[in-house]
Amino acid sequence: MTDYSQAIQFLYDLRLFGAKLGLENTRRLAELAGNPQDKLRFIHVAGTNGKGSTCAVLESIYRHAGLRVGLFTSPHLVRFNERIQVNRMPISEPEIVRLVPEAQGWIAQFPAEAHPTFFEVVTVMALRYFAEQRCELVVWETGMGGRLDATNIVTPVASVITNIQLDHQKWLGQTIAEIAFEKAGIIKPGVPVITAAEPGAGLETIAEIARQKNGPLTVVNRTDPVDQFRLALHGKHQRLNAALALATVNVLSSGPPHPGPLPQGGEGEGERRGPLPQEGRGDRRRRPWPIAEALANVNWPGRTQVMRLHDGREVLLDGAHNPEGIRVLCEELDSSFAGRKPVIIFGVLSDKNFSEMLPPLAAHAEQLLLVPVKSDRSASVHELLSPHSDGRVPRVPCSSLPDALAKASKARFILITGSLYLVGEALEYFGYSPSPKVSEFALNEWGASKV
């Protein structure tokens, strides 16, 4: 391996092996990598919506407290290295180039019929990198589901489940209870569980599995106050995500003092599961949690993100990609943007329930511009034109995001939503995220199968 373009090509080629739900390959890869997960502490985060935002708040709190914090999330918006960060610094190109040959060595020891997938390999590359970087905590987001997700080879200090909604039914199940069972698969024996799931929407399943695993359960509800803090993320739903993160911090900072950061040789299960310290390495003085500073400075692009263009126009970006996400987005339009109807640019993946996503958006739109997403799995514009169109709001087919933005050139308020992939394209288009020499959007492509 000689350069970054070849490293990215190697990752592209891994997409040929699709994606599958199961832990055998990831455990074997981790073993070949020296089981780096045994040298790390994790907060494992699953759920349908709000996972990334909750991870961002957790990362900000612990980083502002002085810890060295790894962050693993997916998908990326523009560049692959967004997935693996330490203290919010994405992994560098030279580090990716260095890690890829190691990954190739691990893969060479697998039979052809059991070739590891892109997400399995990237998961273990992240573990290796975080261990090398001596992270004192890793905020660890599931890819899809939980029970059979590649990230589930770790034993965390806390299992966090944001909420349960219908999404990815093809792989996770057709009912809320089935999906909740998969998400709750991240719960480990004796490890505390913190969730914002609601009664009748997965909470009962989570509570029962927590009981079976003897995991102390904390339930965060919409009345839990965070109003005394300024939150950099917009929207009432983000306040719930922040409340969930704060509850997790409170749970982990209670109890007897923790023995401190793991030495790189690793320790026993009990020490990895204990409460986290309030300070990082060395002799840094213990201080109160810097909650106000952390919440005021948390950064998570593409989630109810407002951009003001040089000509004074506003663009709202939101990665809502299922009916519940769209419902929450429309609530935010009603509260924070009352009396203003945006031109809405909408693109979505074909496996999403867009027939339920479009009507509420149309009710809030001055005009609805429909675009394909840069993905092999994109819903076609023709598909988006047909379902439940009542004719009151024009639905305009567009060939691309730039085409839609050209058609909306006179709009003072634009909303771009329906897919994180589309939001990433918009961030790149407007120059809010640096563009790679070769597009890395397609590294988000996958196809999953159950094991």
Does the residue 127 lie in any domain?
yes
Return the CATH number at 413: 3.90.190.20
Does the residue 440 lie in any domain?
no
Q: Phi then psi for 44, rounded to 5 degrees? A: -95, 125
Task: Give the pLDDT mean for 131-137.
Answer: 98
pLDDT of residue 387: 59
Domain match, 309 and 247 both: no
Which residue among 294, 328, 357 closes a domain? 294
Q: Phi then psi for 155, rounded to 5 degrees? A: -110, 105
Residue type, 49: N
pLDDT of residue 389: 62
- In terms of average pLDDT, the best of 5-14, 352-361, 411-420 is 411-420
What confidence category does residue 173 fall into, taking pLDDT thresholds of 50, 70 and 90?
confident
pLDDT of residue 223: 59
pLDDT of residue 17: 67
Q: Give 256-281 pLDDT, tens digit per residue.
A: 333 333 433 333 333 444 445 554 44
Peptide bond into 75 cis (omega under 30): yes
Residue that has been written with the tokens 């040959």 in this structure: 101
Does the residue 445 lie in any domain?
no
b/e for 426-449, b at 16 or more Cβ within 10 A? bbbbeebbeebeeebbebbbbebe
Range of lowest pLDDT (37-51, 90-104, 156-170): 156-170
Domain match, 239 and 335 both: no
pLDDT of residue 274: 45
pLDDT of residue 391: 66
Domain match, 127 and 270 both: yes
Residue of 156, 161, 247, 159 whose CA lies nearest to 204: 161
Does the residue 447 lie in any domain?
no
Greater confidence (112 vs 387) lies with 112
Using a pLDDT cut of 90, give the percent of the chain over it.
70
For residue 53, what is the enclosing H or E element?
Answer: helix 51-64
Q: Give 188-241 pLDDT, tens digit per residue.
A: 999 999 999 999 999 999 999 999 999 999 999 875 668 889 999 988 889 999
Domain match, 414 and 375 both: yes
Q: Give 29-81 pLDDT, tens digit per residue.
A: 999 999 999 999 999 999 999 999 999 999 999 999 999 999 999 999 999 99
Greater confidence (172 vs 155) lies with 155
pLDDT of residue 433: 74
Find the domain containing 51 and state its range: 4-294
**Torsion angle defined by CA atoms of residues 218, 220, 224 and 228, in that order, rounded to the nearest 10 degrees:** 90
Answer yes or no: is pLDDT of 114 > 70.
yes
pLDDT of residue 441: 80
**How is residue 391 written in tokens?**
């004719």
pLDDT of residue 276: 58
pLDDT of residue 308: 92
- Calculate the average pLDDT of the chain: 87
Range of lowest pLDDT (25-29, 183-187, 318-322, 387-391): 387-391
What confidence category does residue 449 fall into, taking pLDDT thresholds of 50, 70 and 90?
very low
pLDDT of residue 362: 93
**How is residue 241 written in tokens?**
């995500």
What confidence category does residue 22 fall into, taking pLDDT thresholds of 50, 70 and 90?
confident
Domain match, 172 and 274 both: yes
Which residue among 263, 294, 325 closes a domain? 294
Does the residue 319 lie in any domain?
yes
Does the residue 249 lie in any domain?
yes
Domain match, 100 and 191 both: yes
Answer yes or no: is pLDDT of 167 > 60.
yes
Size of the chain, expressed as the number of residues it contains = 451
Domain match, 284 and 316 both: no
pLDDT of residue 435: 73
Does the residue 193 lie in any domain?
yes
Burial group, residue 25, by CB count within 10 angstroms (0-12, 13-18, 19+): buried
Domain match, 157 and 136 both: yes
Return the CATH number at 249: 3.40.1190.10
Domain match, 286 and 311 both: no
Q: Give 356-410 pLDDT, tens digit per residue.
A: 999 999 999 999 999 999 888 899 999 998 755 666 788 899 999 999 999 999 9
Does the residue 444 lie in any domain?
no
Total number of domains in the chain: 2
Residue of 362, 325, 233 whose CA lies nearest to 49: 325
What residue ranges in 202-248 does DSSP mark as E strands?
217-219
Transcribe 270-315 into DSSP letters. HHHHSPPPSS-STTPPP----HHHHHHH---TTSSEEEE-TTS-EE
Domain match, 74 and 195 both: yes
**How is residue 261 written in tokens?**
């950061």
Cβ(294)–Cβ(60) below 8 Å: yes
Domain match, 256 and 362 both: no
pLDDT of residue 228: 84
The strand pair at 193-195 and 158-161 is best described as parallel
Domain match, 316 and 283 both: no
pLDDT of residue 236: 85
What confidence category does residue 344 fall into, taking pLDDT thresholds of 50, 70 and 90?
very high
Q: Phi then psi for 401, rounded to 5 degrees? A: -60, -45
